[in-house]
A = this chain, B = another copy of it.
Amino acid sequence: MKTPSSLAYLTEALRRLPGIGPKSAQRIAYHMMQHDREGAGMLGRALTQAVERIHHCALCNTFTESEICETCADEERDRSLLCVVETPGDQVMIEQTLTFKGLYFVLMGHLSPLDGIGPKDIHLERLIARASDGAVKEVILATNFTNEGEATAHYISETLKARGLKVTRLARGVPVGGELEHVDAGTIARAMLDRRAT
Contacts and interface: CB of A to CB of B under 8 A. Distances in A.
Interface of A: 1-7, 9-10, 12-14, 16-18, 26-34, 36-37, 39-54, 63-65, 69-71, 87-89, 91-92, 95, 108-109
Given A16-B43, A27-B89, A47-B47, 6 more contacts: A4-B69, A10-B47, A14-B43, A16-B42, A26-B89, A30-B87
Contact of A47 (B26, B32, B70): B32
11 contacts: A3-B63, A7-B63, A14-B43, A16-B39, A16-B40, A27-B89, A30-B63, A30-B89, A41-B47, A43-B43, A44-B44
Copies of this chain, complex-wide, total 2
A47 to B, nearest CB: 3
A160 to B, nearest CB: 23
A46 B4 contact: no
A108 to B, nearest CB: 5
Contact of A4 (B10, B39, B43, B65): B65
Contacts of A29: 50
